[in-house]
Structure 1
Amino acid sequence: MLEINKMSEKGPPPPAYQTGVPQAGGLPPSQPNEPPPKYEDGNFQQPTAYPPQQGYQSMAQTTVYTQQPIVLQQHIMRYGPDPQLIQCPHCSTQVTTTVMTEAGAITWLASGLICLVGCWLGCCLIPFCINDLQDVKHTCPNCNRVVGIYRRI
């Protein structure tokens, strides 16, 4: 009897444990016969933590596509005094350049030097007749545009 009195002094027994297995996240078990709510388009609706607020509109997602810049590398062509086989940067055809000579810095320096020596009565015009003392202009025979200049200085 002594033992029975000690039990009554301890108080009521602890509550019984639930026999079901709790779901992850502490959510109550779902009802097997109840389907989840759906949106109008047929997708399942996730439960929200906050009720919808008045005065706020949902923002639509905007997808922004960016294009990487295209970098064209032009290699610098060194033109010489002779015609060269190139791809024209203007009309994109592969051509052999047409060359034309024109007076440049060497031509004028040679002419001035001849004048200083004393040959000013027409001999100073001789450098303008010598192609090896003049600059060379390369042009495209297809589109007739200048593609490069070879300068003697």
Structure 2
Amino acid sequence: MDYEFYYNRDTGNFALNLPLEQDAIARFLLDEFVLDQAGYHLLLRELHGLGNHSSWQYQGRNWSLFVEDGDVLVCHHSLLELEHEPLPDKLAGSQLALDEDNLQGECGLDDLIRLVEQWQVFVAGQRGRLNGAHSQ
């Protein structure tokens, strides 16, 4: 999995960029955990404890993460709600379609673990620089 991390010194915002088909994973991490180190540590502890044939799920405020046999699916709750609610009669035959881009993404369990670990190293490094812990 390819990824890039950014920190904007002017705004103080962090960004995590992934390929378009995996952008939902970045949105999941930033929306659910923001920069909460403790939350990421709990997530990593759960993920590290999974075997190759394990199942686990995380239900967040807006996103869910599902792990099944080493595969990860991240899905926005709006997609889950639509699966259980029929479309109103007026929309049932229409050409309208839900744009699922950025609402779900998949990756391997090892890739997700590596991504979250590297993200935490990046965030900690930027915070260290901001706090004067690293001299240049």
TM-score interval for Structure 1 and Structure 2 normalised by the shorter chain: under 0.3
Which of the two has greater helix per residue?
2
The two structures have a TM-score, normalised by structure 1, of 0.20
Which of the two has greater strand per residue?
2
Tell me which structure has the larger Cα radius of gyration: 1
Considering Cα pairs closer than 8 Å and 6+ residues apart, tell me whether 1 or 2 has the greater RCO: 2
The two structures have a TM-score, normalised by structure 2, of 0.21
